[in-house]
Amino acid sequence: MSGTPRGERLNITLVGNRNAGKSSLINALAGQEIAIVSETPGTTTDPVDKRYELLPLGPVTFYDTAGLDDVGELGAKRVQATYKILWRTDIALFVNDGAAFSASELTALEHIRAMSIPLLIVFNKSDARPPDPANLEFCASHKLPWIAVSALKQENITTAKELLISLAPQYMKEERPLAGDLVSAGNRVILVTPIDLAAPKGRLILPQVQVIRELLDHDAVVTVVKERELEYALETCKKPPDLVITDSQVILKVVGDLPESVPLTTFSILFARYKGDLDILAAGIAKIDKLADGDRILIAEACSHHVQADDIGRVKIPRWLSQYTGKDLSYEVYTGHDFPENLEEYALVIHCGACMLNQVEMSRRIMEAQRRGVPITNYGLTISKVQGVFERAVAPLYR
């Protein structure tokens, strides 16, 4: 269970003041000690993630966050870290110990509601005191579901769990196709995966592993080759493959070796649909032909890795894009969960495949770019565009 990739887990974030009992509530919901509980306020400083199998939803990550009432300069930074976690949150549990909501709690509640995150208010410590009537009024006037529990005495925990599960948005209950819907049982698929300096030692990268697994689940016959062996693989096949999926960086070489009739796409384009929204990310490509001198491009990479001399986000895409447009463009790279506040200062956002992000975080990034009127696309779509094979590379996903 712990092997489920982080980006495939649903994120449930517990938000509330210090000593509201967030860690105890996680343990009560999980029925085991997965979070450290202390009576000392402020024990949880930075957000801590705890993995758990919450049936019927499946693998989830509970984020235990620092108290909203944390004080001092460091405290303010911790609260900021809590707000950052909300970007990747599928469901928020707002934990209050029964006392009337403070200003910091009301601000956080407003923030969560503005982000349209499904929200359950949990009044913990019901064995010590009932929820303040003003809090109940607040819940009623904002139509917020709430429940009173005692994590300490295990009271009402099962009902809280049921309520939590009932709040799961539809996308949490549905499986999105990655590549399985593009094949039928017995179809032959060739995957092209360069093993260059950027490739991790001794393993394939997550997008490649996930695609292989899904194709096997759909009974496809999968062959994995490096780009240099593709020609040989095609020669030794009795008939052309039903689909070729390549790493975007070698798509031009693959196109050169592949008959025009063979459907072709890239791992990154599959992830544009799987993690994000293919229609929006594909529409973002139109901006490339309108870029002007001085435009700033945001390169967003969802993980940090050792940067190679010919790094895709920092070197290859900037080089290809500047060559294609002939414009004097500048590039800034954001990695991991960092995403800039000043989005509107960019002419275009080019995002990686986001295999390390969960779907909701990628969707929020897309929504935020749209809200600010900034076109957003992804690596695979961009590379296909600047290499002149965009239509062919997206065609299999629009059949």
Binding positions for ligand SF4, rule: CB under 6 A: 205-207, 301-303, 352-356
Residue whose CB is less far from ligand SF4, 99 or 204 = 204
Residue whose CB is less far from ligand SF4, 139 or 366 = 366
Residue whose CB is less far from ligand SF4, 85 or 357 = 357
Q: How far is the CB of 98 from ligand SF4 (least distance, A)?
A: 41
Residue whose CB is less far from ligand SF4, 41 or 200 = 200
Sign of dihedral through CA atoms 178, 182, 187, 190? negative
Q: How far is the CB of 58 from ligand SF4 (least distance, A)?
A: 21
Cα–Cα distance, 307 to 314 (Å, whole number): 8
Q: Which amino acid is at 299?
A: I
Please compute, for residue 282, the number of CA atoms within 13 A of its CA located in the half-sphere on the CB side: 16
Cα–Cα distance, 20 to 94 (Å, whole number): 10
> Which contacts of 40-43 are long-range, i.e. CB under 8 A and separated by 24 or more positions?
41/67, 42/18, 42/66, 42/67, 42/70
> Listing from the earlier edge strand, what are the strands of the sheet with 264-266?
221-225, 188-192, 243-246, 264-266
Residue whose CB is less far from ligand SF4, 263 or 353 = 353
Residue whose CB is less far from ligand SF4, 303 or 367 = 303
Q: How far is the CB of 266 from ligand SF4 (least distance, A)?
A: 11
Other beta carbons less than 10 A from residue 216's beta carbon: 13
Residue whose CB is less far from ligand SF4, 16 or 353 = 353
Nearest to 251 by CA among 348, 57, 384: 384
Q: How far is the CB of 250 from ligand SF4 (least distance, A)?
A: 15
Cα–Cα distance, 164 to 183 (Å, whole number): 36
Q: How far is the CB of 356 from ligand SF4 (least distance, A)?
A: 4
Q: How far is the CB of 379 from ligand SF4 (least distance, A)?
A: 7
Cα 67 to Cα 63, 97, 149, 150: the distances in Å are 12, 12, 19, 19
Whether residue 63 contacts residue 11, with contact meaning beta carbons closer than 8 Å, is answered with: yes
Residue whose CB is less far from ligand SF4, 59 or 353 = 353
Cα–Cα distance, 109 to 22 (Å, whole number): 16
The H or E element that residue 323 is part of is helix 317-325
